[in-house]
């Protein structure tokens, strides 16, 4: 190591210098090289998105299977007055099996990943719903998807299309499972009937 490199990299303390052919530090204590920058690992949501994409690619016909009761989904869409996002819920809701498969595969290594991701999406929903600006259900769903994509960010391992598709799938799944928006009230059977 040359003296100028050592000084530039902060490897020498004041009063130190590099001496001889073997680059011996002379005059004071040796300063350890700086630690490498912290490298974050992918967030849970990104892991789910990657696995979800793999599950959908592995079983494209799986998207044709129904997830959830169509009549319950219709009832919830009507109750929450979902209009613009209705087709998105219907289309992306069909990937519910892939979402569950992704959670199961990841839970082998991280047992609480499914509930943690669901809480994350629900927290985003609560933050948006709390803004109380005359929002319809479609606006809320759109903002949840946008915020989820924004918080996920782009990673080199996950293309933008996968992030956007996965956000729609995960939000549709959360809607169908009554994790976001309003739950349809239970109907009490009439005793006279």
- Long-range contacts of residues 123-132, Cβ cutoff 8 Å, at least 24 apart: 124/148, 124/151, 125/174, 125/179, 125/180, 125/181
What pLDDT score does 47 carry? Answer: 86
Domain match, 171 and 112 both: yes
What pLDDT does 32 receive? Answer: 44
Regarding whether 121 and 86 lie in a shared domain, the answer is yes
**Domain span including residue 3:** 1-37
134 with 72, same domain: the answer is yes
Check residue 29 and give its pLDDT: 47
Q: How many domains does the chain have?
A: 2
pLDDT at position 39: 41
What pLDDT is attached to residue 16?
Answer: 55
Same domain, 70 and 16: no
Is residue 134 located within the same domain as residue 51?
Answer: yes
Mean pLDDT by 10 residues, the chain (193 residues): 52 52 49 43 78 82 64 88 90 83 90 90 91 84 92 79 90 90 76 49
3-state secondary structure 115-179: HHHHHHHHHHHHHHHCCCCCCCHHHHHHHHHHHHHHHHCCECCECHHHHHHHHHHHHHHHHHCCC
Same domain, residue pair 88 and 8: no
CB atoms within 10 A of CB 172: 27
Are 122 and 105 contained in the same domain? Answer: yes
Same domain, 142 and 55: yes
Residues 112 and 62 in one domain: yes
Q: Answer whether residue 52 is part of any domain.
A: yes
Q: Are 65 and 97 in contact (CB under 8 A)?
A: yes
Whether 22 and 58 share a structural domain: no
């Amino acid at each position: 190591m040359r003296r100028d490199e050592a000084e530039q990299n902060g490897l020498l303390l004041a009063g130190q210098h590099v001496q001889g052919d073997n680059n011996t530090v002379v005059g004071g204590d040796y300063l350890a090289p700086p630690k490498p920058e912290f490298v974050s690992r992918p967030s849970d949501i990104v892991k789910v998105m990657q696995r979800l994409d793999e599950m959908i690619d592995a079983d494209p016909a799986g998207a044709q299977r129904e997830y959830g009761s169509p009549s319950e989904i219709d009832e919830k869409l009507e109750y929450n007055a979902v209009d613009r996002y209705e087709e998105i819920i219907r289309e992306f809701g069909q990937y519910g099996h892939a979402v569950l498969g992704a959670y199961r595969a990841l839970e082998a290594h991280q047992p609480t990943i499914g509930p943690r991701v669901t809480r994350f999406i629900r927290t985003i929903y609560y933050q948006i719903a709390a803004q109380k600006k005359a929002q319809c259900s479609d606006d809320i769903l759109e903002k949840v998807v946008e915020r989820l994509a924004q918080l996920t960010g782009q990673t080199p391992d996950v293309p933008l299309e996968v992030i956007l598709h996965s956000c729609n799938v995960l939000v549709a799944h959360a809607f169908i499972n009554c994790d976001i928006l309003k739950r349809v009230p239970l109907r009490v059977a009439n005793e006279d009937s």
